[in-house]
Each structure stands twice: as structure tokens, then as C-alpha cells.
Amino acid sequence: MVEMLERHVRAIGEQYLAAFPDRRDRGARQVGKTTLARQLVANTGATYVTLDGYADRVLNRDAALLQSGHQSACLLALIRLIAANQGGELVKARLAEQASLPATSITPYLDVLKGIFAIEELPPWVASLAAREIGRRKVAVADSALGLWFAGLTVAWLQPVTAEALGVLSRRLSLSS
């Protein structure tokens, strides 16, 4: 078994965890962020959650509490489609077809995702209060980090920084904030 080096940052991490129960660790790859986080959790009794675990909990438990009868796999497929077109027009028939759902069930699935605050519907642009709506409603994943994760965008995809990557990223961040 490999012996772990004593981490000087561990004591600081425990102090921060006591003051701020929600924390994110960032840093270079393969330097032990996950190992440190798991050690801190083991010593303090805190809960270690990843985006995978969070998304799974929200789509399986929270959605079921809101309305039973929805399949988490369908919710996952739907939110991934929305994330892939973050801020795009809400065309329910197209979403239903792409998610392999009956067109009649797309609205209840969207209602569940809105109910657990996973997505936001953005109203169409209106020239004035007296004018009619121009365009269609838009839909976006409410949390920009989850939107990027559901869309499968990675740091490797976003680097090197290109106009295409910046355009996609800025659209996703601005529409979901």
C-alpha cells in the first residue's frame, strides 16, 4: 500500500470546512484534490458530493418527490438536450422527438424540471407591453456549471481558447445566469 504524504493544507481545509460547509476544490490534475476532500469528509462527518451524485439525486429523488411516474432516464435525456442547446428556442415537438418521448408527455417532463429548478424558461422578446410577443420562448439549464456538465463540455474541449468555444461558453453562461 502506498503511504500518503502529510498535507499541510489539511488543517486549513478542516477550518474552512467548519466555517463554510459547501466548498469546491480546484487545481491542477492529479495533485490529490479528491483524496484530500475524502479525507476531510472522513474526519468531519461532512458529505462528499460530485456533480454526478448531485445530478443523480436531483433527477431521481427530488423529481420523484415533486411528481411520481416520471422516469429519471427520460429527465436526464431531456436536460442533456436542453444543455446541448442552452438558451435555444423551446420547440416541444423537436425535444420530444430527440428524447424519444411521446409529444403529449413533454410538457409534464418540462414542468418537473422547472419544479426542481433544473431549467428556466426564458420569455420571448417583446418590443413593448402593447406589442405581441416576437419569437418563441427559450429554455436553459438554470445552473451554468451543470449546463456545461450535462452538455459534456470539458476543459479539454474548451482549450485551446477558440472563437467557437468562447461563443458556446458565453452563450451558456449569460443565458443561465
DSSP for 34-81, written as a single string:
HHHHHHHHHHH------HHHHHHHIIIIIHHHH-TT--HHHHHHHHHH
Shared-domain flag, residues 28 and 73? no
What pLDDT, on the 0 to 100 scale, is given for residue 176?
44
pLDDT at 3: 60
Query: In this predicted structure, what is the pLDDT of residue 83?
Result: 92
Q: State yes or no: cis peptide before 102, omega within 30 of 0.
A: no
Check whether residue 135 and residue 90 sit in a common domain: yes
Q: What is the pLDDT along the chain (177 residues), one digit of tens a residue?
A: 556 566 677 777 777 777 776 666 666 667 777 787 788 777 777 777 777 777 777 777 777 766 666 688 888 899 999 999 888 889 999 999 999 999 998 998 999 899 888 899 888 776 666 666 667 889 999 888 788 888 887 767 666 666 666 666 565 555 444
pTM of the model: 0.63
Domain assignment of residue 3, yes or no: no
**Structural domains counted in the chain:** 2
Structural domain contains residue 119:
yes
- Together in a domain, 28 and 100: no
pLDDT in tens, 21-49: 666 666 666 777 778 778 877 777 777 77
Do 141 and 86 touch, CB atoms closer than 8 A?
yes
Range of the domain at 66: 51-176
What integer pLDDT is reported at residue 177 of this predicted model? 45
